[in-house]
Copies of this chain bind each other. A is one copy, B any other.
């Protein structure tokens, strides 16, 4: 226990068996996404973000445009007072520091204890041992969702096998990010989302593909970080169906980007228009655009 803050960062007692969610028929995703967005807009959930400095502006504005209420508090001295009252927590290690990591661990522990879901964005997890160890430690604190790009998910899955397994997975020397995501998902008991041209979301059993989005998003800093916060907002209003909530968050972001792209002349105007389009998104546009289905 940290005697200054009174927070005990206990690890949960082992792996959580994660039952597969019921299968949503492919033609229902648009209506489901609209339903969740409506819930989000009416409840305005409070989403605490302990995140990298680069992403804060975009993340806060994207959450506001979706209807959530962002809070960027991250001091270790505030977590025991503040975090029990949030609706979800987003942790992002982009500009990781020692102090930041202590806050992340404390906040994740408090959130889990208070029954609030939290999501992890393992930015550039393979860039240093410090970062990888930080992430592996955070994985023990029961994230509801992990979202990364293919190399982050592959890196995390590989490091976890090396550190934890006594050989059961060690024969799988190579597999693509989706298989790594499924394995990671089962091992942690969390939804894992792999972002890319297509986003894949898995609960360790089924895999859903989210096909919306535009390639120019890669030219805007922190879009990945921001969408992770959006996932936190969506699972806060639908915690028991986290796979659906995650896929809906990713898709809605992708649809907003597609709509924004129609007005954009480059990455900076796309950044602006996608926020405006998310704010103004209506049912017809969302349902007609959304392209999500189960892939395995």
Contact = CB atoms under 8 A, between A and B. Distances in A.
Say how many copies of this protein the assembly contains. 3
Nearest to A103: B97
A219 interface: yes
Given A72-B95, A75-B96, A78-B128, A61 B269 contact: no
A71 interface: yes
20 contacts: A54-B56, A57-B57, A60-B222, A61-B267, A64-B219, A64-B221, A65-B267, A65-B268, A72-B95, A75-B96, A78-B128, A78-B130, A81-B127, A265-B276, A266-B276, A268-B271, A268-B272, A268-B273, A268-B279, A269-B276
Interface centre among A95, A128, A266 (most CB of B within 10 A): A266
Q: Is the interface of A mostly helix, strand, loop or mixed?
A: helix
B95 A74 contact: yes
A130 B5 CA distance: 11
Contacts of A268: 61, 65, 271-276, 279
Given A57-B58, A221-B64, A73 B124 contact: yes
B130 A77 contact: yes
A221 B266 contact: no
A213 interface: no
Q: What 7 pairs between A and B have smallest CB-CB spacing?
A: A266-B276, A60-B221, A268-B275, A81-B128, A78-B128, A77-B130, A268-B272
Interface centre among A222, A268, A276 (most CB of B within 10 A): A268
A59 to B, nearest CB: 9
Contacts of A56: 53-54
Interface in A210-238: 218-222
Interface residues of A, number: 52
A131 B128 CA distance: 29
A277 interface: yes
Contacts of A267: 61, 64-65, 275-276, 279
Interface centre among A219, A221, A275 (most CB of B within 10 A): A221
Contacts of A127: 71, 73, 78, 81-82
A70 interface: yes
A94 interface: yes
Interface in A26-66: 52-54, 56-58, 60-61, 64-65
B54 A57 contact: yes
B81 A130 contact: yes
Interface string A80-107: 0110000000000011111100000000
Given A72-B52, A130-B75, A277 B266 contact: yes
Contacts of A54: 56-57, 60, 72
A271 B267 CA distance: 12
